[in-house]
């Protein structure tokens, strides 16, 4: 391996550390045992859907356990939360060659979570998963937690071929995130009746899964009041990434939002289209102004000065999205990544109001659900280094 390629590998590993460190931090503050609740793990059986058999699986990256499962709990209130988890992404020979595995020495080893790991257990989560916190408006609802281990932001339906950039050896990745959720949704329809209220949510990669599968969820549950909230998944991408994504993942697009053979570009606003398609539903996004994980992945897509470019592109798109009457955003200060699973959900106020109260107003339709933004926070406090 020549010196230039060696330096590039070092840069990739630095970005991997940035990219997954904040994703892993969401599980750092486990709930104590006395606050845990009755979650049930389900290993889904192979399922026939529209004449095709689907078998839920993780990435099957080298050294990864392919076993897949999801969790649910039944609440006492007439509400259902469907939550898509995050954990990085991969789309080319380099990023897919560096998975995060269960026994990794550090939480930030790898560009994507390639198998289910110890922290993929909702008993360990905080934030909206703290079902004993009186400030949590969904604490008494039913939950379905959708783990993530396929490198495709829950949108893939393909077995992709790659080549290890170090050894030249071929390898495959099962990008089956979309297929996994088809299986879960089939189970959901058999086990959960139409709820009066639905929250579809996702953090990081899960924010894209929530948006992608929202129309399928609404087809399954067409009645009741529904909300979509994307946490730390602003959709800032490059055209080359979109092309690689479609080639490698065979990415599944949301039903009914795109014309046949329509070209998808970085300016295509998926959330805006969902808000237009479902005018009686509510749509929301949360992000920090300088999210280090989102901007790190933007750098991996080949963007120079990505930490500045990402913030600028995010702000422009968010402003345009706010034109929709049923969309709101919460822009917080800082560089942290994702919040819905963390204790920061109850302490975040930098947007000018407590995030937990803003979330409650969104869910229940009360006053206080407005576009919120931190003051003066778009000026980056530290030097841009990638």
Distance CA(346)–CA(349), nearest Å, equals 9
Distance CA(383)–CA(291), nearest Å, equals 14
In a domain, 213, yes or no: yes
In a domain, 24, yes or no: no
**What does residue 162 show for φ and ψ, rounded to 5 degrees?**
-135, 170
Q: How many helices (H) and strands (E) does the chain have?
A: 9, 15
Distance CA(327)–CA(316), nearest Å, equals 15
Which position has the token pair 């947007």?
351
State how far Cα 336 lies from the chain centre. Answer: 15
In a domain, 163, yes or no: yes
State how far Cα 58 lies from the chain centre. Answer: 16
Where residue 322 sits, what CATH number does that domain have? 3.40.50
In a domain, 383, yes or no: no
100: CB partners within 8 A, 6+ apart: 20, 87, 88, 107, 108, 109, 110, 111, 112, 113, 114, 117
Total domains in the chain come to 1
- Decide: residue 311, CB within 10 A, 0-12 exposed, 13-18 middle, 19+ buried: buried
In a domain, 274, yes or no: yes
Distance CA(181)–CA(103), nearest Å, equals 26
In a domain, 384, yes or no: no
In a domain, 288, yes or no: yes
pTM, two decimals, is 0.93
Beta strands in the chain (DSSP E): 40-42, 47-49, 52-54, 70-73, 79-84, 99-100, 112-113, 142-146, 158-163, 170-175, 197-203, 225-231, 282-288, 327-332, 372-373
Contact 341, 143 (CB under 8 A): no
The model's pLDDT over 243-256, given as tens digits with 9 standing for 90+, comes to 999 999 999 999 89
Return the structure tokens found at 21. 């460190």
Q: How far is CA 115 from CA 119, 150, 157, 350, in A?
A: 11, 8, 17, 35
In a domain, 287, yes or no: yes
Determine the structural domain holding residue 132 and report its residue range: 35-373
Distance CA(303)–CA(237), nearest Å, equals 9
Task: Kindly give the confidence (pLDDT) of every residue in the chain, 386 residues in length, as a single tens digit, with 9 standing for 90 and above.
Answer: 443 444 354 455 555 555 554 454 444 344 444 444 689 999 999 999 999 999 999 999 999 999 999 999 999 999 999 999 999 999 999 999 999 999 875 555 799 999 999 999 999 999 999 999 999 999 999 999 999 999 999 999 999 999 999 999 999 999 999 999 999 999 999 999 999 999 999 999 999 999 999 999 999 999 999 999 999 999 999 999 999 999 999 999 998 999 888 989 999 999 999 999 999 999 999 999 999 999 999 999 999 999 999 999 999 999 999 999 999 999 999 999 999 999 999 999 999 999 999 999 999 987 889 999 999 999 887 777 77
């Amino acid at each position: 391996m020549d010196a230039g390629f060696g330096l590039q590998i070092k840069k990739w590993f630095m970005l991997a550390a940035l990219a997954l460190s904040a994703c892993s931090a969401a599980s750092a503050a486990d709930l104590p045992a006395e606050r845990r609740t009755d979650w049930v793990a389900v290993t889904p059986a192979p399922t026939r859907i529209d004449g095709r058999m689907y078998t839920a699986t993780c990435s099957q990256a080298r050294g990864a356990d392919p076993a897949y499962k999801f969790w649910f709990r039944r609440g006492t209130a007439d509400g259902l939360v469907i939550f898509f988890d995050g954990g990085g992404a991969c789309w080319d020979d380099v990023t897919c060659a560096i998975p995060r595995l269960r026994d990794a020495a550090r939480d930030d080893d790898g560009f994507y979570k390639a198998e289910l790991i110890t922290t993929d257990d909702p008993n360990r989560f905080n934030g909206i998963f703290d079902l004993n916190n009186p400030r949590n408006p969904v604490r008494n609802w039913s939950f379905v937690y959708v783990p993530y281990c396929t490198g495709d932001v829950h949108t893939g339906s393909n077995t992709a071929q790659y080549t290890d950039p170090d050894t030249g050896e071929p390898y495959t990745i099962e990008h089956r995130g979309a297929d996994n959720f088809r299986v879960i949704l089939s189970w959901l329809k058999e086990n959960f009746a139409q709820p009066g209220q639905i929250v579809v949510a996702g953090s990081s990669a899960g924010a894209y899964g929530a948006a992608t599968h929202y129309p399928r969820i609404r087809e399954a549950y067409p009645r009741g009041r529904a909300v979509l909230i994307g946490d730390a998944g602003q959709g800032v991408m490059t055209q080359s990434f979109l092309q690689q994504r479609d080639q490698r993942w065979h990415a599944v697009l949301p039903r009914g939002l795109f014309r046949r053979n329509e070209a998808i570009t970085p300016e295509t606003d998926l959330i805006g289209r969902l808000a237009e398609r479902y005018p009686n539903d509510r749509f929301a996004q949360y992000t920090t102004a300088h999210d280090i994980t989102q901007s790190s992945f933007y750098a991996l897509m080949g963007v120079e000065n990505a930490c500045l470019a990402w913030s600028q592109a995010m702000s422009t798109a968010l402003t345009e999205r706010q034109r929709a009457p049923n969309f709101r955003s919460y822009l917080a200060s800082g560089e942290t990544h994702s919040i819905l699973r963390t204790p920061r959900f109850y302490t975040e106020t930098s947007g000018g109001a407590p995030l937990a109260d803003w979330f409650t107003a969104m869910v229940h339709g009360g006053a206080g659900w407005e576009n919120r933004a931190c003051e003066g926070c778009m000026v980056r406090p530290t030097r841009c280094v990638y």
